[in-house]
Every structure is written in C-alpha cells, then in structure tokens.
Copies of this chain bind each other. A is one copy, B any other.
Amino acid sequence: MSRYLEARRETLPPAVTDLAEQLAEAGYKVTGPRLAVLKAATALRGAFSVHELEQWLIARGESPGIASIFRTVRLLSDLNLLQRIHGLDDCHRYSLGKGHGHHLVCTGCGAMERFEDCGVQSLIQQLEQRTGYRISAHLVELFGLCPRCLAASAA
C-alpha cells in the first residue's frame, strides 16, 4: 500500500483514509496535497465548490496550489468518487460519493440530500422507442427548500 498514507493513518479521519486507499489502489500516489483536499472535502460535507475547498484549506494554513486542488477534484471525479452537481445556474459544485447519484439541493441555504433511485427508467425506454436514440446516461437534479428554510420563509 501507500507508505505515506500508513505513516499518517492515525491522524486522519477514516473517511479520508478510505478515499486515499482508493487513490492508491487506482495507481495514484497518496500525497500531502491530495490528502489535504480529501480532508477539506470530507469536512465540508454536502455540496462544495473548489473555492470553498481552497478557503477551508487556507484557513488551516495547508492549502496546496489552486492547480492541485482542481487536479484532485478532477481526479476524484474521474474515479467516480466525486459527483458534480448541476444547479439551475451554478454548475461548479461537487459532492463526495461513490458512483451514480442525484441531488436534491436547497435553493435557500445550499443544503443537499443525495438519492440513488431517480425513477427515469420508464421515461428512458419510452424515449428510446420514440426517437431511436440509445440512451446511456442521465442527469436528474431537484431543487427546493429544505425544512429549515421552509419554516423560516413561513414565519
């Protein structure tokens, strides 16, 4: 495995070591900058932007160069460990999570719920028949107010 990771395993949250192990398994080196980004992404939870990752890291005095933050985000995305969130306007947010997933995003505060089953299978079948396309991917994102923002707006 990764010597670098083993040396600091004790000091890292399990979620971070877990992700780092997947980087190693995929043949990538486990480096300081990459661990830093993983720490930030894990700590921020939910939907975060590259800028927010950077701010979190700067605040702790351990920010890699911005290029490496982008590179790590891209790498996690390529390995399907990170999903890009497509907002109605904003398309520059991400969420940790394995494989295919969808998001329900609060337009008030940015909170987010992930869900797996989006029930578009029958729509896909229907459209394949009607249009002759072979559909291989889909994007489903939902927007609204979370319970807290809902309560606040009612007051």
Contact = CB atoms under 8 A, between A and B. Distances in A.
A21 interface: no
Interface string A107-134: 1000001010011101110011001111
Contacts of A11: none
A146 B133 contact: yes
Interface residues of A, number: 34
A145 B133 CA distance: 5
Given A122-B119, A127-B104, A138 B135 contact: no
A134 B144 contact: yes
Given A86-B91, A118-B120, A122-B119, A135 B139 contact: no
Nearest to A89: B84
A39 to B, nearest CB: 26
A88 interface: yes
A143 B132 contact: no
Contact of A142 (B107, B124, B143): B124
A132 to B, nearest CB: 4
A58 B70 CA distance: 34
Nearest to A135: B144
B127 A115 contact: yes
Nearest to A123: B119
Of listed A120, A144, A145, A150, residue having the most chain B CB within 10 A: A144
A35 interface: no
A146 B120 CA distance: 19
